[in-house]
Amino acid sequence: MNEKVKLPKFMCDWLKQNEGILGVYPMVDVSTLNRERNTAVDVETWLSRNTTNHWKLIDALRYGYEAEPEPRWGIKAGNCYMDASDSWGFDNVTPKAVIDNDAYWTIKKAADEIVRVLGFGEVVDLNNEGKADEPESEQLYYVQFIKNDGYSFLNSSDSDGLEISDNEETEYIKTKFTMPEIEAIDPRYKTFAVPVEEGEQDEN
């Protein structure tokens, strides 16, 4: 696991407060934290909610952790967002502009109440708003002719054409290809296509 575990900010703060009592033995640390959790109501609630949070805490101690993005609840009406929380003004702006203008709420109930008073609009999660419309990046592949061999990757360059070498991509050498690009070079190479994420493991 390469990424840090995302935890609620209050959990990150709580863990930092207790760094002094943590050692190098994970099971001991978990037991110690379990005894300390009743010192903070929000921590007690979060850990008591479900066992998934227990595993997240264990992963956080093992791989490191960082705070989840702060909740940012905005109000949307049609294609416009409320971008002035003091005057309740709407404009055709991006979610980022709303965040930059501090026209959001960290507590959803507060935004819900404004929508109720207005009689129109909807509360949306500005952190995720618009992401569903973003095009997904196309999967990239290495063409690796010999498994576990870090020097058996297909390279392509304007100067040298096709060669076999490592998988380091540079400004002039291409080692990552989309599936249509591989098929255009030689349909038989599809057999040797390896998702970039897997190929990284064999680069050495």
Model confidence pLDDT, tens digit, residues 117-160: 999 999 999 988 866 445 556 889 999 999 889 999 999 998 88
Band of residue 167 on the pLDDT scale cut at 50, 70, 90 = very high
* C-alpha distances in Å from residue 74, one per residue of 81, 86, 149, 158, 161: 7, 13, 51, 49, 52
* C-alpha distances in Å from residue 109, one per residue of 37, 87, 114, 204: 27, 19, 9, 52
Residue 82 has pLDDT above 60, yes or no: yes
Domain map of the chain by residue range?
5-67, 73-133, 141-202
Model pLDDT for residues 49-59, shown as the tens digit of each residue: 777 888 888 88
Band of residue 204 on the pLDDT scale cut at 50, 70, 90 = very low
Model pLDDT for residues 3-59, shown as the tens digit of each residue: 789 988 888 888 888 777 776 666 677 677 766 666 667 777 777 777 788 888 888
Q: What is the distance between the terminal CA atoms of the chain, rounded to a whole angstrom?
A: 19
Residue 173 and residue 159: Cα distance in Å, rounded?
9
